[in-house]
Amino acid sequence: MNINFSLAATAEPEVARPGINLLTALFGLLLVTGVMTGCYAFIAGHEHVYNNTREMPWGILISTYAFFAITSTGLCLLAAISHVFGGNRLAPLGNRLVWGSIITILSAFAVIGFEIENPHRMLLYNVISPNLTSNIWWMGTLYGLAVGFMLVEFWLILTRQFKLAVLLGVGGALAEVAANTCLGGVFATLPSRPFWYGGMLPVYFLSCAFLSGAAMAIIFNHAAVAIRKRDFETAEFEGIQTAGKILLLMLILVSVGTFWRMVSFYVGGTYEGRLAADALLTGPLSSNFKLFEISIGLVAPIIILVMSRLKSVPAMSAAALMAIVGMFFARYDMVVAGQLVPMFLGYDNLPNYLEYSPSIGEILVVLGGIGLTGSAFLLGERFFGKIFKAETHH
């Protein structure tokens, strides 16, 4: 069994062309800008840099964290499926999916780390004072456990210890699923927020994980081939086509789930829940919901995938990118809509809707998370490219 590792055996120096190096630097600049903004928020005070308030404590940084974490879960699940059930068409994409899952969850941690005012306390008290009845404690602990599994799994892939890598991959997938449902439970178990409360969100988040994971699998693999300026191998195309089928299925399921979730607010439930739904249909979030979440994020990708019959990689990649944009706005809409209606509506002449819009500081931190994913993906292709080839899957 070979346990030696050498970058020379995995790197692809030809990927480091000037154009790709420039793109990596641009993503790196976004990352550095986001880190500097987050550090400044620690010094100046979150209340001066971010637009969160006591009434609207969660904003775009929470929704972006959820977006990256859910995407990581989807990539990890698809990687585990491709490795455990060997011989399937997803298998040639598996190693790259593991790397994608790692970098997206690290992006999620980076964004949430700058959102929390004292992240060091979270790390300390998570260990010395665990709260086993807290969904947030379980979510953080399980995502941390998943990262550990995936990092070790990726090292085992690099050193070609594939049997052990499969075991670690299964452990990481189970931890990610549990963490993902706990993330949904953070919202679903808050009865004071009628727009979130109920048993649907954990299952909905898991569906969105498969959707986002399939979309990112297409984007990552299309980009990997594009930066090498070569044609797709048969195994790569079949893998992307399989991811496209998963994406189409999940787009339909999430569309149905979104429809019935909105209907449920108008055939029962509380007045505050209907007001929150109104915010998406006719209120301050209507443009986000109708244009980005529904039209661009769900309807258009379905049309493109059906019309292309999954035979065009550029068409599948365009649909995947649109779906990712839709998922980003869906997380934002969900987080903000759940808080827009005041908890004590009807007292002291409170308005029907509170006000929130992301500050420049928040947007820069979000761009920093995107920069981390983009730069880590390109660096991964540069230094681990050979392990991502179709013939090296396990």
What is the pLDDT at residue 87?
A: 64
Q: Are 68 and 369 contacting, i.e. CB atoms less than 8 angstroms apart?
A: yes
CA atoms of 262 and 105, how far apart (whole Å)? 29
Q: Are 90 and 98 contacting, i.e. CB atoms less than 8 angstroms apart?
A: no
Q: Amino acid letter at 24?
A: T
List the CATH code of the domain at 15-343+350-392: 1.20.1630.10
Q: Which parts of the chain fold into alpha helices (H)?
A: 7-10, 18-44, 46-49, 60-84, 94-115, 119-128, 135-158, 162-188, 200-228, 234-264, 271-281, 286-287, 300-308, 313-340, 360-384
Q: Are 181 and 206 contacting, i.e. CB atoms less than 8 angstroms apart?
A: yes
What is the pLDDT at residue 345?
A: 78
What is the pLDDT at residue 86?
A: 64
Q: Are 157 and 98 contacting, i.e. CB atoms less than 8 angstroms apart?
A: yes
CA atoms of 172 and 149, how far apart (whole Å)? 5
CA atoms of 58 and 196, how far apart (whole Å)? 13
> Could you say which residues of the chain have pLDDT below 70?
1-3, 86-87, 390-394
Query: In this structure, how many other beta carbons lie within 10 angstroms of the beta carbon of residue 136?
Result: 14
CA 70 to each of CA 105, 137, 183, 301: distance values in angstroms, whole numbers, following the listed order: 8, 17, 9, 19
CB burial readout 75-109, b (16+ within 10 A) else e: bbbbbbbbbeeeeebbbbbbbbbbbbbbbbbbbbb
What is the pLDDT at residue 16?
A: 86
Q: How many residues does the chain have?
A: 394
The residues spanned by each domain of the chain are: 15-343+350-392
CA atoms of 331 and 337, how far apart (whole Å)? 10
Helix (H, G, I), strand (E, B) or coil at 342: coil
Give the HSE-up count for residue 125: Cα atoms under 13 Å, Cβ half-sphere.
10
Phi, psi of 132 (to 5 degrees): -70, -10
What is the pLDDT at residue 48?
A: 93
Q: Are 367 and 35 contacting, i.e. CB atoms less than 8 angstroms apart?
A: no
Residue 303 neighbours by CB under 8 Å, 6+ apart: none
Helix (H, G, I), strand (E, B) or coil at 90: coil
CA atoms of 217 and 214, how far apart (whole Å)? 5
What is the pLDDT at residue 39?
A: 96
What is the pLDDT at residue 360?
A: 97
Q: Which of 288, 292, 311 is nearest to 358 (CA)?
A: 288
CA atoms of 150 and 140, how far apart (whole Å)? 15
Distance of CA 200 to the CA centre of its chain: 19
